[in-house]
Structure 1
Amino acid sequence: MKKLSVLILAFITFSLQAQQDLFNEPALVSPEINPDKTVTFKIKAPLAQSVSVSGSLDGENAFAPITYSMEKGEKGIWSFTTPVLPSELYRYNFIVDSVRTVDPANSYVIRDVSNLSNIFLVEGGKADLYKVQDVPHGTVAYRWYDSPGNSKKRRLSVYTPSGYENNTEDYPVLYLLHGIGGDEEAWLGSGRAAQIMDNLIAQGKAEPMIVVMTNGNVYQDASPGNGSSGFPKITFMLPNTMDGKFEETFGDVIKFIEDNYRTSGTKADRAIAGLSMGGFHTANISLNYPNTFDYVGLFSSALGVPMNNVTSKMYENKEAKLKQQMKNGYQLYWMGMGEDDMAMIYKGNENFRKEMDAIGMKYEYVETSGGHTWNNWRDYLTTFVQRLFK
């Protein structure tokens, strides 16, 4: 009985220590989305000399993080209230005396390359597509596949629509590629791809489809922390990032999907799209597999990025490959670009369209406000998937 009493006392003591933050003082509410759609941020930093909030906090100018100074109030609590924000998914972080940090009052954090940022959502508009709604939900699975071309097993993520497990139907497939520094988790996190697909399918605006999200960094077998390299330092650029190796071995991905999922295995039921580096990969995969995809989507494609000292057959004879792709036919070649995107990317896409124009190759081009941002890429995905497999 004495031992039991000691154990109970120890457990109570541990529980109180573990929950001490609950009893010291009320937790701050940050961010607080106000009824007028302004948003208030707060952080307690009584010894700080300066505090600011930085992020995609301006719906019209989200190309680069905008930084706002916060004001110090009672009890060392710093605060800032934004202007009215349109419906969108936003990311932000605090800067306390020149040190970047996340908001300790907001548990919702997302990784982009090696940076962690908090996120919040302003409802009542297009961001409702990014929420989990009361609709039938698809399934997201992380799968490992053999990639003989890369001499390793690699990981990808697969979205299957609601009902896939309970029928015997074949489904069309969208291969959805991320940008530089991303991986097989990027479209599920910042891109909200699963929520967008669930909601558009439930609304009858998109056909039920399988969405395959690859890791375009063939140097890796999986996203950082999920592969054989353990917990490596996360870097922006990796070997084999844009040297043709991903395009060369993309057939390994297609083979795995068509061997393990119910697909028709036809060009009419295949689409491919990608953002930035993934748009560059998309353009070149569709060129080198010219009779494979009926739908192609380039989102802020990194076509203008300098390709110094890269010698890959994937990037040779582009005009002949374009002509062959045009001759084989396709249903949709769609391109989206922000008017404030990086000059080299904007120019690279302009030059690519001129090459298509020169041979009479048809495409659709949409130019939007904003720049090289997830705000645009979520919009482009939303638009593109509603055009597929009709």
Structure 2
Amino acid sequence: MKKLPLLILLIGLTIRSMNAQQALTREPQLISPEIHKDKSVTFRLNAPKASTVTITGGWMNSVGVTRPSAEMKRGEDGIWTYTTDVLSPEFYSYSYVVDGMKTVDPANAYVIRDVANVSNAFIIDGGYADLYKVTEVPHGTVSRRWYSSPGNNKVRRVTIYTPPGYENSKANFPVLYLLHGIGGDEEAWMGLGRASQILDNLIAQGKTKPMILVMTNGNVSQEAAPGEGSEGFTKPSFMLPQTMDGKFEETFGYILKFVEGNYRVKATKESRAIAGLSMGGYHTCYISQNYPNTFDYMGLFSPALNNKPEDHSESPAYQNLKEKLVIQKRNGYKLYWIAVGKSDFPILLSGIQDFRNQLDGIGMKYDFLETDGSHTWANWRKYLTEFSQKIFK
């Protein structure tokens, strides 16, 4: 009987603990972002001791590399709010600055990294953005694989998407090699690029062929994305050693060898495509010249052709480029596709025009698409969507 008071005490403590937890959960959760029916969006941040809070987001028009910000308004309850105008369909990122300190939205669990910048994300439905969502369609498989790259004295990581049903199929598939921009890595097209969602949805709609997607790391000084290699949790850097010096082009054959030795692929020119954004567009240009009878489809998305390979003329990849381009033309191809935003950096637009003049000078055919917008993921997601529907036909 002496145990009874102790049991009652324990039960009482448990009930009090449960009530305390329930009291915590009864506190209304802050909703941010709140997407309204008219597709305007309200953001909220609980920061009662802050003096100033601003928000910057992908719906704001950038001025060069600088994106503007807007002031949030403080309520009497210490909650800061900001409501946008009606937003167009898109995958958006945003972040806050609280008393000069950049931070993410603690009410939004969806966070993405762009080089060293961390932001929150949300989607406004409609148009292209419907392809960026996970929908009720068959899904492909995404894996991170390691391949030997003796030319870089490293074992390096690559991200590979295989289409729905690959594991249970005996079929061979075409391959798109998809390259990132400066500061990015093998995670960039998966996070900000929404590449697997785009392919899942387009394949389900019958708008693109089932394909294997190989997302490389174009920074030959790295084994893998920051935090994913033996270097540990290194700080992501926008500019890394050996950036656009020819080494990635020289050693690209090791990626081809790994993919074609480990996956069921159609190892033919007409079943290979290569594309990339910015620095990846630059790499696409010169990889396809150095492997002139390898790819039937090339996609240059906002290519950084203002960078001049002659600055690294010691690299075999950048020698005899005029002759290599003529050979590429002579060998033939099905699609050479260049796309850029009309508001992109003037120096980049000038570099693209110089390259177009070079192509025109030798009579090399290409498709050119100029869109609204600038050097942004909003454009590159659309370019991947369009390019992937043009290949392997």
TM-score calculated relative to the size of structure 2: 0.93
Counterpart residue number, 1:380: 383
In the TM superposition, what are the counterparts of 1:97-136 in structure 2 within 5 Å?
Answer: 97-136=99-138
Residue type at the aligned position of 1:187: W
CA 1:342–1:61 in structure 2 vs 1: closer, same or farther (change >3 Å)?
closer
Contact 1:247/1:285, CA 8 A, preserved across alignment: yes
In structure 1, stretches of 5+ residues that fail to align are: none
Percent identity, aligned pairs only, is: 58
Contact 1:338/1:369, CA 8 A, preserved across alignment: yes
Matched, 1:93 2:95: yes
The secondary structure found in structure 1 opposite 2:77 is helix
Contact 2:284/2:298, CA 8 A, preserved across alignment: yes
Counterpart residue number, 2:165: 163
Residue type at the aligned position of 2:285: A
Counterpart residue number, 1:364: 367
Contact 1:59/1:86, CA 8 A, preserved across alignment: no
Displacement of 1:264 = 1.7
Structure 2 Cα separation of the partners of residues 287 and 278 of structure 1: 14
Counterpart residue number, 2:239: 237
CA radius of gyration, larger in: 2
In the TM superposition, what are the counterparts of 1:236-255 in structure 2 within 5 Å?
Answer: 236-255=238-257
Structure 1 Cα separation of the partners of residues 149 and 188 of structure 2: 21
Counterpart residue number, 1:282: 284
Of 351-360 and 74-83, more deviation after overlay is shown by 74-83
Structure 1 Cα separation of the partners of residues 367 and 116 of structure 2: 34
Matched, 1:323 2:353: no
The secondary structure found in structure 1 opposite 2:344 is coil
Runs (4 or more) in structure 1 with deviation over 2 Å come to 15-25, 58-66, 305-311
Structure 2 Cα separation of the partners of residues 316 and 60 of structure 1: 37
Counterpart residue number, 2:353: 350
Which of 83, 86, 90 does residue 85 from structure 2 map onto? 83
Displacement of 1:307 = 5.7
Structure 2 Cα separation of the partners of residues 347 and 334 of structure 1: 17
Deviations 1:30-72 (A, max 9, x none): 0000010000011011111111110212489897523111111
Contact 2:157/2:223, CA 8 A, preserved across alignment: yes
Which of 179, 182, 193 does residue 180 from structure 1 map onto? 182
Residue type at the aligned position of 2:120: N
Structure 2 Cα separation of the partners of residues 147 and 84 of structure 1: 49
Structure 1 Cα separation of the partners of residues 23 and 263 of structure 2: 48
Contact 1:62/1:370, CA 8 A, preserved across alignment: no
In structure 2, stretches of 5+ residues that fail to align are: none
Structure 1 Cα separation of the partners of residues 122 and 66 of structure 2: 17
Contact 2:92/2:123, CA 8 A, preserved across alignment: yes
In the TM superposition, what are the counterparts of 1:181-330 in structure 2 within 5 Å?
Answer: 181-305=183-307, 309-310=311-312, 311-330=314-333
TM-score calculated relative to the size of structure 1: 0.94
Structure 1 Cα separation of the partners of residues 163 and 68 of structure 2: 37
Deviations 1:181-218 (A, max 9, x none): 11111000000000000000000000000000001111
Structure 2 Cα separation of the partners of residues 20 and 227 of structure 1: 42
